[in-house]
Structures are given as C-alpha cells and as structure tokens.
Amino acid sequence: MSDVQVLNGIKEHGVCAIVRGTSADSLCKIADSLLEGGVKTIEVTFNTPGAAQMIEELVKKYGKEMLIGAGTVLDSETARTAILSGASFILSPTLNIEMIRMCQRYSVLPVPGVSTPTEALTAWENGARIVKVFPAGVFGPNYIKQLKGPLPQIDMMAVGAINLENFADFIKAGASSAGIGGELVNKKLVDEGNFAEISRRARAFVNAFKEIKGV
C-alpha cells in the first residue's frame, strides 16, 4: 500500500488507537476488540518493549484489515527498524527531518509531531503531508482551527489527551483524525481482560466520527 493510500485510509477511518506499554500476550486481543468496535488504524509505540516484534505480528495477522503503524519514533534509525517490521506509517512526538526522509525513501507515510505553525510548515516543505499536533489536549480544539487558517493544505492528526468529550470538537475544528491512547486502549482494562469495554469505547469514537462526517 502506498503512502498516499495510507494517508487516505487514516483520514477515512478518523480514529487511530495508540497501544503503549502492553504485553505481547494481550496484543491480538486488543486488535480484535478494536476491530470489533470499528477501529481500523493502530499504532504501537516504540517505548513499548518488543514493539518491532509486535508490529510484525500485527502486520502478519491483521495487515489486510488494519493500517498498522509505529509511534514514539524519535529518529531515522528507529523509523527504519519500524519500516522493516512492516509499519505503514510512522508517528513521532517531535519534528525530525531525517525521520521524514527515511520514510520517503521507503514510501512509508511519515507523521511528524508539531506544535507551532513554523514546525507544521517545515514538516510540509520537507515532504510530510500530515502532521501530528501534539499535545493537542493542552492546546485545545481552537488551536487546530487557528493552525488550519493559514495552513489549510496540511492534514492534521490531533494527539494527546483526546477523549470522547473533546474528540468531536477536534474533528469539527479541522483535524483529519485523532490518535487516542488511554481513553481507548486503557491499561487497566487490558490488565483486567475487559476487552468488551475497549470495543465499546472504540465503537463510540467511530460512531462520533461518522456522525460528524455524515457517513
């Protein structure tokens, strides 16, 4: 799948589940619960032990059903490891130009982290077509709206403290999608084996996105 196709998929799905700090034993149960709730985009953060192997497992079992990416990628070396593991998109909390270039070399979608208009435009000028606005929950939905004013050509994913209460506001403000961590793949729920609740939360986010988009 090309980077353009992955970008279109992220925008179509609207919800990216962030898996952080979980065990490999829970990985497939998490993926199954997300799919049951309609979430088809997932990222495994690289500060999770065994992240590369987890991505390989997800790609092997869910590659035809889900978009699978890597998160918390801080440099080009880690990006290459994630790409070789099969990740189809690479997210970072920061703006690292070498990470973007590594992704472009392999036709993998880079999603660099930005928090200012200058960073957003710098990412765009260096080839990124979508940026991760982080920490979006601190800035608030209106910040996305203000960024999109002078930079309407740049797709933006809102990440950081996104929950069911503010998710719709971020999408309405102009975010193409949102990355959701603890409010969706909650560690306590995983530890308790309450995957039905993860499915319920996933469905709630997906339904909210569909309602906004009128689909």
Catalytic residue among 43, 145, 183, 211: 43
To the query of whether residue 132 is one of the catalytic residues in this protein, the response is yes
* pTM recorded for the entire structure: 0.96
- Enumerate domains of the chain plus CATH numbers: 3-210 (3.20.20.70)
The pLDDT of residue 8 is: 98
**pLDDT tier at 210, thresholds 50, 70, 90:** very high
Report pLDDT digits (tens) over 15-40: 999 999 999 999 999 999 999 999 99
The yes-or-no verdict on residue 189 having pLDDT over 80 is: yes
Listing from the earlier edge strand, what are the strands of the sheet with 130-133?
109-111, 89-91, 67-71, 41-45, 15-19, 177-180, 155-159, 130-133, 113-114
Q: For the segment 128-139, what is each residue's pLDDT rounded down to a tens digit?
A: 999 999 999 999
**Calpha distance 180→91 (Å, rounded):** 13
pLDDT at site 215: 77
Does the annotation mark 125 as catalytic? Answer: no
